[in-house]
Structure 1
Amino acid sequence: AFIAIKHIGTNGGGFFGANSAHPLENPTYFTNAVELWAQMIVPFAMIFALGFFLKKQKFAYIIFGVMTVGFLLLVIPTMSSEISGNPAIEKMGISQLNGAMEGKEVRFGPAISGFWSIATTVISTGSVNSMHDSSMPISGAMQLLAMMVNVFYGGCGVGYLNFYIFIILAVFISGLMVGRTPEFFGKKIEAREVKIAAFIAILHPLLILAGTALASYFAAHDTAMGYWFSGNATGWLNNPGNHGFSEMLYEYTSSAANNGSGFEGLGDNNPFWNITTGIVLLLSRFIPIIGPLAIAGLLANKKYIPESAGTLKTDTTIFGIMIFAVIAIVAALSFFPALALGPLAEYFGM
């Protein structure tokens, strides 16, 4: 009963603490494949359902294509990193024929565990079949980036909710670049819509990075406030340095993306983490729902403009590339410094 809720409902909470690494929740490689497909099929279907109801199936194909390219750019480096093993262990002369096996179930291995870790972070499932905290640094960076971007597939319809914001921004920027009035499905995109879209796009990194900065300060300075919240602020981190920073960054990223997975080397069961991540989860869950609905309402009240030779088409490959570029630029500018301090610094330090 829990598995159906966990994966088809993209919830992620398992009956056992070990989640889908537990043999009673996920006993074989076959059940692992079924659970992977179960958590992906509804988010996939929602994209094509959108195209069906809008009678714009080509538009749905473009969205699905952009999301799939993004997914592959995350999952391929992750699987490659896990299969290649840990260079620190390699230097000790220990063979790693099976790849990086720390935190993995032997019956699954590193490749499918890496695939799962990206599937669960792009689709907001949050279930795990391996310990993400034990993942290689590049894998950790990809898991973080999947939730930071938060637009590839998503939960049951949530992927398009966030993707819609980037469509509005891409339409506006494309219109400026080619000297045409920005339009989306026959409705003009004007200042109010762009301001709302920009606010929603900025809110996600603001909540994640502000929370991480606050936690980092308390971890570095055992202040009275930090002591009151946690008992011992420095006791949060079992891993110092870059990996400890990654653990704190992952906690807020997972909360903001409504994911639920974690780098569980972090001692997060205390008032500080429970309160701050709860606030981040509430704000990042509900405000991004209000923004797209507000934009939809504004567009619905506008006069329909029939397509003409000057209309910027939104169901072409070129526009798909434009959307992907906007997503990449916003994500890179917002999150690259934090990733550089965490998993990327850890990778180069190895």
Structure 2
Amino acid sequence: IKHVGTNGGGFFGTNSAHPLENPNYLTNIVEMIAQMIIPFAMVFALGFYLNRRKLSWMIFGVMTVGFLALTIPTVITEMNGNPAIAQMGIDTTSGATEGKEVRFGAAASGYWSIATTVISTGSVNSMHDSAMPLSGMNQLLAMMINCFYGGCGVGILNFYIFIILAVFISGLMVGRTPEFLGKKIEAREMKIAMIIALLHPFLILVGVALSTAFPEQGASTLNNPGFHGFSEILYEFTSSAANNGSGFEGLGDNNPWWNITTGIVLLLSRFLPIIGPVAIAGILASKKHIPESAGTLKTDTSTFGLMVFAVIFIIAALSFFPSLTLGPIAEYFTLY
């Protein structure tokens, strides 16, 4: 139930790491499929109801490339193990095993960590706080981008905003009228789309800034100083904003400061971004339908898919690269 509904709150505190809930590889795979099946299906349902199957394949392709770009490095990093532990003469051929269940191992734990963050599930089968620095960064990026598959329809909602931005930018670049599904994309829709695209990083980074600016309320509950401690604060607000719920649990977050600030971020970042796509849909619905012509920019091609991916990457990089540099990237360089 929890995975099909992309919730992630387990009957047990450790949820999907608990042997009574998730005893072996088979149950692990079943839980993985359960959390991903509806987000996958939503993409193809969109193509079915619009009668544009190629469009849904383009969206699914971009989402899958993004998912693999986060998953493959994470699995490899976790399987390579921790160099600091290897230097102590300890055998790390099993990978980075701290905070992981032996029955799953490093690879399945790394894979799950991206599946649960790219979709807004938030269940865990290992401790994300114990992951290697770059794995932690990829888990953060999955929630920061928040449109590769997403929760039950959340991926489509956020991806729609990036499509609007990509259509407009592509139209300007090639000198064609920006159109999507036979409707012109104009300044009003672009303003709304840009506000929604910037709202997610704004809410995350304001929460992080306040928690570090007032350390007696926020940062005082950290168990890890330095770069990793900053990553824990960043993860806390990113997880709240992406409606995820997983955490870097080295952070003592059960006090009024964390409960209230993350609660505010969670409410604002769940409900405000719904207004924008619905508003854009309403504006487009009132416009005249323009039949396709030689000048129409096709939005169901792999070329346009590449453009959407570039827009997602650029917005994520511009919004979050400075904070990721202070957290997981700096931690990576101290480790190596």
Query: Which bracket does the TM-score occupy, shorter chain normalised?
Result: over 0.9
Flag structure 1 segments of 5+ consecutive residues without an equivalent. Answer: 227-232
**Equivalent residue number for residue 106 of structure 1:** 102
Percent identical pairs in the alignment equals 76
* Residue 30 (structure 2) pairs with residue 30 (structure 1): no
Flag structure 2 segments of 5+ consecutive residues without an equivalent. Answer: none
Measured in 2, the distance between the counterparts of 1:35 and 1:136 equals: 24
The within-5 A match list for 1:81-100 is 81-100=77-96
What one-letter code is carried by the residue in structure 1 that aligns with 2:122? G
**Equivalent residue number for residue 281 of structure 1:** 266
1:235 CA displacement: 3.3
Give TM-score scaled by structure 1 length. Answer: 0.95
Measured in 2, the distance between the counterparts of 1:39 and 1:289 equals: 22
What one-letter code is carried by the residue in structure 2 that aligns with 1:66? V
**Equivalent residue number for residue 69 of structure 1:** 65
- Does the C-alpha gap of structure 1 residues 111 and 36 become closer, same or farther in structure 2, counting only changes over 3 Å? same
**Equivalent residue number for residue 147 of structure 1:** 143
SS in 2 for 1:13: coil
Instruction: State whether residues 170 and 178 of structure 2, in contact with CA within 8 Å, keep that contact through their aligned partners in structure 1.
Output: yes
Measured in 1, the distance between the counterparts of 2:324 and 2:146 equals: 16
SS in 2 for 1:342: helix
Alignment partner of 2:56 out of 57, 60, 64: 60
Deviant stretches of 4+, over 6 Å:
none
Instruction: State whether residues 212 and 219 of structure 2, in contact with CA within 8 Å, keep that contact through their aligned partners in structure 1.
Output: no
Q: Aligned pair count? A: 335
Give TM-score scaled by structure 2 length. Answer: 0.99
SS in 1 for 2:3: helix
**1:302-343 deviations in whole A, cap 9, x for unaligned?**
000000000000000000000000000000000011000000
SS in 2 for 1:37: helix
**Equivalent residue number for residue 230 of structure 1:** none
SS in 1 for 2:73: helix
* Residue 167 (structure 2) pairs with residue 171 (structure 1): yes
**Equivalent residue number for residue 47 of structure 1:** 43
CA RMSD across the alignment: 0.7
1:91 CA displacement: 1.0
Instruction: State whether residues 203 and 269 of structure 2, in contact with CA within 8 Å, keep that contact through their aligned partners in structure 1.
Output: yes
What one-letter code is carried by the residue in structure 1 that aligns with 2:125? N
1:140 CA displacement: 0.1
Measured in 2, the distance between the counterparts of 1:19 and 1:217 equals: 33
1:234 CA displacement: 4.8
* Residue 300 (structure 2) pairs with residue 315 (structure 1): yes
The within-5 A match list for 1:330-345 is 330-345=315-330
Measured in 2, the distance between the counterparts of 1:318 and 1:282 equals: 36
1:131 CA displacement: 0.3
SS in 2 for 1:261: coil
